[in-house]
Structure 1
Amino acid sequence: MSGEQSVPGGPGDGSPAGPGTVRPGGRTARTRAAALRAAEDALIEAGFDALDLADIARRADIGKTTVYRRWGTPAALVADLLLDMAEQSLPRTETGTLDGDLRANAGLVHKTLTDPRSGALFKAVITAAACDADAAAALHRFYATRIAEWAPCVDQAIARGEVPQGTDASEVIRAVSAPLYYRFLVSGDPLDAAAADRAARAAGAAARAGAYAASYDHP
């Protein structure tokens, strides 16, 4: 994902906490970690349609009652998994130039999507989001979090004068990952390092040309 932030809609932002969104410690934290790892394994093996809470309890060696009480539905478990993925994801890389930062972002997206485990997991959660509103909301929060993590590299480029004032930082970051996800999910074209580098260079060139800049008045 655009890289891989606090998550909008998660605990602490004033929104109601849904199933699986409390961040506990101790035994409860270990139970959550085991269930989420089991959910990852199940999603990778068989996809969202086959995700079953009783099976998750068996895989994680925890009580079915605990799993049903904490998450309630497979979609709620996927939502909590996405929250955990956002919390555990890598911070952005700062290279000192916009092109360098965007290449780092594209490289992380490429690595994530081409890794056999994480690539299969992302396909599964994207499938879940396509058929369940709660899973979709969780996926949207995940991507909003990742974009928010990387957008400051564009803000820093604005401050250095690399791109015009008024450039929409989030749109630049989206422009890096969008062609990579297209290859990953739609076209089947090779998703290689060259494609990642090309996506980063294209987004940087468009940003410098003002393609993502809102209209503004010059002083």
Structure 2
Amino acid sequence: MPSDSVPPNRMRPFGRGPKVRAAVHAATLDELARKGYAELTVDAVAKRAGVHKTTVYRHWKDRESLVVDTLAEHFAAEIPTPDTGAVETDLRALARALAASMTDPVGAAVQTAMYSDAGRLPEIAEARRAIFANRIRRAEPVVSRAIERGELPEATDPAELFKLLAAPIHFRLLVTGEPVDDAAADQAVRIVLAVAQAGALTDPATDAGP
């Protein structure tokens, strides 16, 4: 079979727009999960997506830009902005989604890529910062609604709240190797709520007033 042929069980995507991007993103995540960043190639991604590698290069200039774009797309889609009507259940949904996104096969492969040698590439480091900034933006409505309901103090800083929420989950995953599950996510919520409701996560500039 020629090197650029499409496996018989794969449909070749039509067009060069969203369908191709979605197929290539999915193939990139598959390759990360199966082989890791070090062995990922544009050729393998193209074959898995059912397109020619020139189609991939038409959208992404190299492997690094392809991985960066895929990571950003993956994490933007994985973490929802919950609205359950209460800050505790909102934060629990947020923390559990974060834990799940980091521990399923694709998420684990992505985390490995982001914190391995690939993480030292400026493009990957920038993607990591952009992904974290996106997650903070998704936490902002949760915090603002909680303040309106009187569940959190005025001027609670969404960025600081999300950092504290995510920290024990990342610590378990990257340092201690402890389970990253719903129980760990719920414990992180209890900690962050206690700290936030005590007023320790307010933005000093905002809290100081005029």
Task: Give the TM-score category using the shorter length.
Answer: 0.7 to 0.9
Q: Does 1:38 align with 2:27?
A: yes
3-state secondary structure, aligned to 1:164: coil
| 1:164–1:189 Cα change, 3 Å | same
> CA separation in 1, counterparts of 2:118 and 2:198?
35
**Partner of 1:83 in structure 2?**
72
CA RMSD between the two structures: 2.2
| 1:92-117 superposed Cα distances (whole Å, 9 cap, x missing partner) | 11122222211111111122223233
- Whether the 8 Å contact between 1:35 and 1:60 is mirrored in structure 2 is yes
| 1:37-91 superposed Cα distances (whole Å, 9 cap, x missing partner) | 1111111111111121122222223222222332122110011112322453353
1:119 Cα shift?
A: 2.5
3-state secondary structure, aligned to 1:81: helix
Give the one of 84, 92, 95 matched to 2:84: 95
1:135 Cα shift?
A: 1.6
1:199 Cα shift?
A: 0.3
TM-score normalised to structure 1 length: 0.80
Q: Does 1:152 align with 2:141?
A: yes
> CA separation in 2, counterparts of 1:195 and 1:157?
22
Give the one of 150, 154, 168 matched to 1:165: 154
Question: What stretches of structure 1 of length at least 5 have no aligned partner?
Answer: 1-24
The structure with the largest alpha-carbon Rg is: 2
| 1:218–1:35 Cα change, 3 Å | closer
**Partner of 2:100 in structure 1?**
111
- Whether the 8 Å contact between 1:165 and 1:213 is mirrored in structure 2 is yes
- Whether the 8 Å contact between 1:172 and 1:212 is mirrored in structure 2 is yes
Corresponding letter in the other structure for 1:33: A
Identity %: 38
| 1:102-153 superposed Cα distances (whole Å, 9 cap, x missing partner) | 1111111122223233323332244365221112212221221122012211
Higher relative contact order (CA 8 A, sep 6+): 1
TM-score normalised to structure 2 length: 0.83
Q: Does 1:130 align with 2:129?
A: no
Superposition pairs of residues 61-80 of structure 1, within 5 angstroms: 61-80=50-69
| 1:195–1:83 Cα change, 3 Å | closer
Q: Does 1:56 align with 2:45?
A: yes
3-state secondary structure, aligned to 1:27: coil
> CA separation in 2, counterparts of 1:177 and 1:191?
11
Question: What stretches of structure 2 of length at least 5 have no aligned partner?
Answer: 1-13
